[in-house]
Amino acid sequence: MHPRIFREFGRICREYGALGSVLEIGAVPGPDSLLCLDALAHAARKVGVNLDPPSQFRDFQIVQANANRLDMFESRSFDTILCNATLEHDPFFWRTLEELRRVGRPGAVVIIGVPGYASHRWLERIKRRGAASGGRRLSEAMRASTPTLVVHDYPGDYYRFSEQAVRDVFFGGMRDVKVRRVMVPPRIIGAGRLP
């Protein structure tokens, strides 16, 4: 995980007061796990889920599960739910979003990061310069495009998301929703509280 994304998740966790019982979807048994964030050092419980076999790292366990169906967890079990660089690999990501809502307690903090696409000031300047010069510098397709993260199969790579999709689809109906764009190509990180 890029250090800037890791820092942003930590900052958001502190901003929202993320503690209690914490679940990470797509957790890895290593220092890149969001469960290793300093902001979560005093969490009461930390658990991750991943498609890989179960594992243990530091002070948390990772259970083998498909996040589309988190039957091993009771409803309203978690105070904080984290997910980064996972939903783009989930062909049925909306099922995972339903499960996150089910296992989160009322008021639970949810933070999700995904690769996105968005307009950028520097790209807009290049497009304007290209249009002003008669379009010789940029093809029509380039003027209509935006940079995105490269395809990175694990186990597949299906989606890129807009800021609007993160706000309206991932966090629709939640409170205190904030959506941030980090880096270029953009990583979209959204946060909110379950009703």
What does DSSP say about strands 78-84 and 21-25: parallel, antiparallel, or unpaired? parallel
Whole-number Cα distances in Å, 30 to 36, 53, 61: 8, 14, 11
CATH code 3.40.50.150 for 3-118+148-193:
yes
Best CA proximity match to 130, nearest among 114, 141, 119: 141
pTM over 0.75: yes
Of residues 171 and 147, more confidence is placed in 171
Contact criterion met (CB below 8 Å) for 121 and 167: no
109-126 pLDDT, tens digit per residue, is 999 999 998 776 655 565
Of residues 147 and 159, more confidence is placed in 159
Q: Is 107 left (phi over 0), alpha (psi -120 to 50) or beta?
A: left
50-101 pLDDT, tens digit per residue, is 999 999 999 999 999 999 999 999 999 999 999 999 999 999 999 999 999 9
What does DSSP say about strands 175-182 and 187-193: parallel, antiparallel, or unpaired? antiparallel
Cα–Cα distance for residue pair 114/150, rounded to 1 Å = 13
Does 130 score more than 60 pLDDT? no
7-46 pLDDT, tens digit per residue, is 999 999 999 999 999 999 999 999 999 999 999 999 999 9
Copy the structure tokens of residue 127: 């497009």
Cα–Cα distance for residue pair 63/53, rounded to 1 Å = 7
The 3-state DSSP class for residue 16 equals helix
Contact criterion met (CB below 8 Å) for 47 and 22: yes
Cα–Cα distance for residue pair 116/181, rounded to 1 Å = 8
Domain layout of the chain by residue ranges: 3-118+148-193
